[in-house]
Amino acid sequence: MTANYFLSLSIWLPILAGVVVLVTGSPKNSGCTTRWIALVGAVLGFAVTVPLYLYFSNDTASMQFVEMAPWIPAFNINYHLGIDGISLWFVLLNSFMTLLVVIAGWVVIEKRLAQYMAAFLIMSGLINGVFAALDAILFYVFFEAMLIPMFLIIGVWGGPRRVYAAIKFFLYTLLGSLLMLAAFIYLYFEAGGSFEIIKFQILPLPLGVQVLIFLAFFMSFAVKVPMWPLHTWLPDAHVEAPTGGSVILAAITLKIGAYGFLRFNLPITPDASHALSGFIIALSLIAVVYIGLVALVQNDMKKLVAYSSIAHMGFVTLGFFMFNPMGVEGGLLQMISHGFISGAMFLCIGVLYDRMHSRQISDYGGVVNTMPTFAAFFMLFAMANAGLPGTSGFIGEFIVILSAIQVNFWYAALAATTLIFGAAYTLWMYKRVVFGAVANPHVAELKDINKRETLFLALLAILVLAMGLYPKPFTDTMHATVQQLIEQTSVPKY
């Protein structure tokens, strides 16, 4: 592979587009130019990530599309980018979801449109940076810088309790990431003055130190995932965020936490990961079972999907800490699939919210009578969320359960309850919202989805089905990297 700059482009093109949107988006123009510039930026941003998949080599576990330039020589910090089988899909997923968010916010956002579009585009670039960074400080810079646009998105365009939710989101995440920063600085000296993540991964460390570093990383990523009991920011942030914010939050930012476990916890502190795996598995199972039950009693649709996200992410961390290739791949598949499904669920709720300005389940009923096309799409995504075979939701959960049963029957048994709870809370919500007689005059006046809405729902429906029926393209890219990761974690480092 010759030198190329696809990764840099995937980071800086959206950011540049965001800046252009900000500069041109004066209050005087109607917003039409703003929308089109944002759309062009998002399309280009996605277009430059496609070659990443096309030219990706499945045979190697080493980093691909590597770019390396000195950034701050005083601390030996480099602008070092690269992706492997773990990160590839998240760059693509992120750029794709940003495109959908731009389309979804097309006419819905009336307040400060330019700033809204710019925030999403800039955030998209920063998130790509998180997934592509191979230098710890570069990672940290993207990781933290991403918080500010997200903070503003929740706080400016969110619902009534938006400020509370935004500050909670920010402080929770900052708490974790500051501890991670301390761990990075420690590793910097241990690695002989280098912030290279790859060097961190081969560093021999005594178990006691590994445990501390593991916990520092854990604080940072567990908040992001989020794992029980650090999850309380998520329902607040989701409920109050605008639709686009919820989509990016659920589809992408949660994945950053899980990605962090794979990139930092497992390879850098393998022995601590083994030693503390019982702890993580317990938390994951609590997330699956307990949060599943919590989701059952929600009255607010968005809150319900938010809790279901936590339960689904519990599967991801469970798979990772089984320490077998199947578990890790299952977790990764679950992450990608959850990106599509949760994004789709939030977009569906957004479609309803734009018409009714309510997220309460009790305000709806009989939507199928007035919005049949929408009801069909919503049905598909609800089924996928419940893990119906043939949809992408099934694959990841199934593989994780399979890998868990190899380790311990009871892990698998508890995890499998999600198939019941997931179906219960999703389908019960679906039933109350969509089926039955038309509940009130507002529902009777609903108009079915327009072309724009059909477009993004159809795109997601195709992906959910395609991944569910033929996941091979996804797993093929992962094998080599996951294999190497498992080998790395199985060898004691001290």
Site of interaction with other proteins (CB under 8 A): 71-75, 112, 115, 137, 140-141, 144-145, 147-148, 151-152, 155-156, 162-163, 166-167, 170-171, 174-175, 178-179, 181-182, 185-186, 188-189
The CA distance from 362 to 41, in Å, is 39
Token pair in block for residue 275: 């030693």
DSSP characters for 190-209?
A: HTTS--BHHHHHT----HHH
Phi, psi of 64 (to 5 degrees): -120, 165
**Over the range 391-429, which residues count as b (16 or more CB within 10 Å of their CB) and which as e?**
bbbbbbbbbbbbbbbebeeebbebbbebbebbbebbbeb
Question: In angstroms, what is the minimal distance from the CB of 71 to other proteins?
Answer: 8
Instruction: With H, G, I as helix, E, B as strand and everything else as coil, classify residue 25.
Output: coil
Pick between residue 147 and residue 222 the one whose CB is nearest to other proteins.
147
Minimum CB distance to other proteins, residue 259 (Å): 19
Of the pair 47, 207, the CB lying nearest other proteins is at 207
Measured from the CB of residue 174, what is the shortest distance to other proteins in angstroms? 5
| Beta bridge mates, 77 | 72
139 or 261, CB closer to other proteins? 139
Q: Are 227 and 313 in contact (CB under 8 A)?
A: yes
SS3 440: coil
Nearer to other proteins, 75 or 470 (CB): 75
155 or 260, CB closer to other proteins? 155
Largest CA distance in the chain: 69
Q: Which is nearer to other proteins, 125 or 331 (CB)?
A: 125
Query: What count of Cα atoms within 13 Å lies in the side-chain half-sphere of residue 312?
Result: 34
Least separation in angstroms between residue 187's CB and other proteins is: 10
